[in-house]
């Protein structure tokens, strides 16, 4: 491969991975591998400028705007940072800066480089009016509605500040990330590769309720623009932002000498294992704001800041064995059992092996000495095998031909990497199906956690999810179980009884239909209204639903085509579980024909709860304001929707006014 071919290859690879990382939130390589390719291309372009192209990935930020969101043209460009990977490169950066401002008093701030999604947040007269993603640095996506769900982002600040734009990094804490992936796995949905991609995917949801459930957080690290105030140092801006209620670049360190700066970088690096969120580097910034203007910027990066990227920590350890687990949908997942090793702040004894193709590609064998690292600082993964230390008795690992939980033959569908057990009576699948059925977003049965389900299965008291609703007939058997007193049994049975009246959408979500999560379940319940009508729906009727595709539609039709699933639903109905979306009485139609739009944060309701009230009274909920909108329910930090409603003369409701209207509508329905 000649120089031109190599550069062309690097450009195409980098653009491909830019799309995967920035637009699809599904990277295939690590940041370290990406940075190495980018650095190689930069070096080649510097050495062979005749082969450089104007649209090279070295000259632009990687993201593009998702067409599902409104575009935002940034008043202040959101540039990326240049990366360095060694102490020598850090010192070289400091030398260049000092030479450029020779004779000036100079200091630096060293900050944690949070591994998340970069956003801009704007405030006017103290109110949050807009939030947007970085996009390509010049144009981003309007994600205001989703940003309003971020718990530690102030929705209002000091109203005496006429305008403030801050830049920050939205991230997902490790604890939340593990919970989100655990729930996704339980529901048979795709899991996120790392917290950064989980944060990005959550913030770019079309349904803000899903974003709210992901419990995102934000650190702000820069004032992009402020009116009415001036600052001489970056450190002062961070302290000012903290006084306004922002979490501003926690743990930042002010430095002057090269030694202090490198010590700060090492200190931040050593803290990685103890933090509750991911960082992938340290950022060194010139502290004096007036000097930044003198140092200037290139088309892509500022000359007054640099990012030091920590190499991913890797350790060698012995692969002792491979366990194969069985998920709710029957998917077989191989898990490496390792000789325990301390890695990135925790002791690692297990690592994902993904599937049979991954094992074959890496040539992983039991007994091998393997190199392990944490993907995104949290998920242990096997990077490679040290073949030089392979024991003579090591043999290639082969996925089982039968299910390890039930012994039935396993199958691999065309186009899928995963093996699956198709036995509906597989104990592992039954256990996970029950875990999913009773979970918060499904039937929400308190007191029926993993240990209780295991106890009930072991005691032969339940065999499928429908049996949960026969436990009231087995009170004495429940009382005989270990640590189950009269109060515990009463509480459990009461929770089970309450779950019978859950809306149809909850039951659909609880059934565990492949590719059908909470949002799709609500769409199905709304479209068909009853389980009986849903069972009879054709694949074309299903595919025609908003945001449904042929794949999901086929999964739904396949589920109801199975006789065992239809029998399970009949059993649930016999046991008193609600099968219609409106579970009791005639629907109140007091608000029939009324269209509501929700904006801002309500003091006492989530958007989902407010929407349910509107729907229960016969109204409808729209995501956008138009001349057909009847009312706008505006909470704290209402944004552009409120402004548009005011310009159209639409009635604006506070939560108190909404409550009074709802009460009147209920009374009207009761007297009808």
pLDDT of 621 strictly over 80: no
Mean pLDDT of 378-384: 81
- What is the per-residue pLDDT across 468-494, written as a single tens digit (0 to 9) for each? 999 999 999 999 998 788 998 999 999
Work out the angle at residue 330's Cα, subtended by the Cα atoms of residues 349 and 433, and round it to the nearest 5 degrees: 95
What's the rounded Cα separation, in Å, for the pair 190 and 377?
20
pLDDT for residue 483: 79
Query: Which of 355, 347, 315 has its CA nearest to residue 331?
Result: 355
Q: Which residues pair with 336 in a beta bridge?
A: 322, 351
Cβ neighbours of residue 34 closer than 8 Å, sequence gap 6 or more: 14, 17, 21, 27
- What is the per-residue pLDDT across 578-602, written as a single tens digit (0 to 9) for each? 999 864 445 667 888 888 888 876 7
Query: Is 113 noted as a catalytic residue in this protein?
Result: yes
pLDDT for residue 357: 86
Name the one residue in this structure whose structure tokens are 């639409």: 650
Q: Which listed CATH number (1.10.287.610, 3.30.70.890, 3.40.710.10, 1.10.1200.10) goes with 3-59?
A: 1.10.287.610
Same fold, 427-574 and 595-671: no
Active-site residue, from 79, 113, 155, 331: 113
pTM of the model: 0.51
pLDDT of 234 strictly over 90: yes
Work out the angle at residue 9's Cα, subtended by the Cα atoms of residues 64 and 195, and round it to the nearest 5 degrees: 45
Residue range 427-574, CATH number: 1.10.150.20
Contact 669, 590 (CB under 8 A): yes
pLDDT of 63 strictly over 50: no
Mean pLDDT of 249-260: 94
Share of the chain above pLDDT 70, in %: 89
Compute how many other C-beta atoms are within 10 angstroms of the C-beta atom of residue 549.
11
- Superfamily of 595-671 according to CATH: BRCT domain (3.40.50.10190)
Strands, E, within 327-378: which ranges? 331-343, 346-352, 369-375
Q: How many CA atoms lie within 13 A of 129 on its CB side?
A: 15
What's the rounded Cα separation, in Å, for the pair 602 and 632?
12
Compute how many other C-beta atoms are within 10 angstroms of the C-beta atom of residue 231.
15
Q: Regarding the domain delimited by 71-309, which CATH topology (the fold level of the hierarchy) does it fall under?
A: D-amino Acid Aminotransferase; Chain A, domain 1 (3.30.470)
Residue predicted with more confidence, 443 or 212: 443
Mean pLDDT of 157-169: 95
What's the rounded Cα separation, in Å, for the pair 226 and 308?
28
**In the chain, where the domains are located:** 3-59, 71-309, 314-411, 427-574, 595-671
Query: Which of 214, 243, 219 has its CA nearest to residue 231?
Result: 243
Sign of dihedral through CA atoms 112, 117, 123, 126? negative
Give per-residue burial for 614-629: e unless 16+ CB within 10 Å, then b.
Answer: bbbbbbebeeebeeeb
Name the one residue in this structure whose structure tokens are 């993964």: 381
Strands 651-653 and 631-634: parallel
What's the rounded Cα separation, in Å, for the pair 464 and 564?
11
Q: Which residues pair with 324 in a beta bridge?
A: 334
CATH 2.60.120.1140 for the 314-411 domain, yes or no: no
Cβ neighbours of residue 205 closer than 8 Å, sequence gap 6 or more: 146, 211
Cβ neighbours of residue 584 closer than 8 Å, sequence gap 6 or more: 501
Contacts 24+ apart (CB under 8 A), 382-391: 382/319, 382/336, 382/351, 382/352, 382/353, 383/314, 386/316, 387/363, 390/365, 391/367
pLDDT for residue 563: 92
Per-residue DSSP letter, 530:
B
Residue 26: burial class (beta carbons within 10 Å; 0-12, 13-18, 19+):
middle
């Amino acid at each position: 491969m000649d120089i031109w071919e190599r550069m062309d290859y690097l450009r195409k690879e980098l653009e491909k991975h830019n799309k995967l990382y920035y637009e699809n939130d599904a990277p295939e390589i690590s940041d370290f591998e990406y940075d190495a390719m980018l650095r190689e291309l930069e070096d080649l372009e510097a050495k062979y400028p005749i082969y450089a192209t104007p649209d090279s990935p070295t000259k632009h930020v990687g993201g593009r705007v998702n067409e599902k969101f409104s575009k935002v043209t940034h008043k202040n460009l959101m540039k990326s940072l240049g990366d360095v990977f060694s102490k020598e490169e850090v010192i070289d950066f400091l030398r260049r800066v000092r030479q450029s401002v020779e004779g000036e008093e100079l200091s630096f701030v060293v900050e944690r480089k949070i591994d998340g999604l970069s956003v801009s947040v704007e405030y006017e007269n103290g109110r949050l009016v807009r939030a947007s993603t970085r996009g390509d640095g010049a144009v981003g996506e309007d994600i205001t509605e989703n940003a309003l769900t971020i718990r530690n982002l102030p929705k209002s600040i000091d109203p005496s500040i006429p305008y403030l734009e801050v830049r920050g990094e939205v991230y997902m804490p490790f604890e939340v990330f593990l919970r989100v992936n655990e729930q996704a796995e339980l529901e048979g949905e795709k899991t996120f590769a790392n917290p950064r991609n989980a944060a990005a995917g959550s913030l770019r949801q079309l349904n803000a309720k899903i974003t709210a459930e992901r419990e995102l957080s934000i650190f702000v690290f820069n004032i992009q623009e402020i009116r009415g105030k001036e600052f001489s140092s970056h450190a002062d801006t961070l302290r000012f932002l903290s006084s306004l209620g922002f979490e501003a670049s926690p743990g930042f360190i002010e430095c002057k000498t090269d030694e202090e700066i490198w010590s700060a970088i090492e200190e931040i690096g050593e803290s990685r294992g103890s933090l509750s969120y991911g960082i992938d580097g340290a950022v060194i910034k010139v502290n004096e704001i007036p000097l930044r203007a003198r140092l200037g910027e290139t088309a892509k990066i500022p000359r007054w800041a640099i990012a030091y990227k920590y190499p991913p920590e890797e350790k060698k350890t012995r692969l002792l064995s491979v366990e194969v687990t069985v998920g709710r949908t029957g998917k077989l997942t191989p898990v490496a059992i390792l000789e325990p090793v301390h890695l990135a702040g925790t002791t690692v004894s297990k690592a994902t092996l993904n599937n049979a193709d991954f094992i074959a590609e890496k040539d992983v064998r039991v007994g091998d000495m393997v190199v392990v690292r944490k993907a995104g600082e949290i998920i242990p993964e096997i990077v490679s095998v040290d073949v030089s230390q392979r024991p003579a008795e090591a043999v290639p690992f082969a996925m089982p031909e039968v299910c390890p939980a039930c012994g039935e033959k396993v199958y691999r569908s065309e186009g899928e990497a995963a093996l699956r057990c198709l036995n509906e009576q597989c104990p592992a699948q039954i256990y996970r199906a029950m875990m999913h059925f009773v979970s918060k977003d499904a039937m929400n049965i308190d007191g029926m956690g993993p240990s209780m389900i295991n106890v009930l299965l072991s005691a032969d008291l339940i065999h499928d999810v429908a049996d949960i609703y026969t436990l009231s007939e087995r009170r004495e058997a429940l009382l005989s179980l270990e640590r189950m007193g009269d109060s515990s049994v009463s509480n459990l049975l009461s929770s089970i009884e309450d779950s019978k009246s859950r809306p149809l959408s909850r039951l659909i979500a609880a059934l565990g239909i492949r590719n059908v999560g909470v949002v799709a379940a609500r769409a199905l319940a709304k479209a068909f209204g009853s389980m009986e009508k849903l069972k009879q729906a054709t694949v074309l009727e299903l595919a025609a639903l908003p945001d449904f595709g042929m794949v999901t539609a086929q999964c739904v039709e396949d589920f109801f085509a199975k006789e065992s699933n239809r029998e399970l639903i009949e059993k649930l109905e016999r046991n008193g579980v609600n099968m219609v979306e409106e579970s009791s009485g005639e629907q109140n139609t007091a608000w029939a024909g009324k269209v509501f739009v929700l904006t801002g944060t309500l003091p006492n309701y989530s958007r989902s709860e407010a929407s349910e009230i509107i729907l229960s009274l016969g109204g409808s909920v729209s995501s956008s304001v138009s001349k057909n909108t009847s009312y706008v329910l505006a909470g704290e930090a209402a944004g552009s929707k409120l402004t548009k409603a005011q310009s159209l003369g639409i009635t604006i409701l506070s939560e108190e006014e909404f409550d009074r209207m709802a009460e009147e509508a209920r009374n009207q329905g009761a007297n009808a």
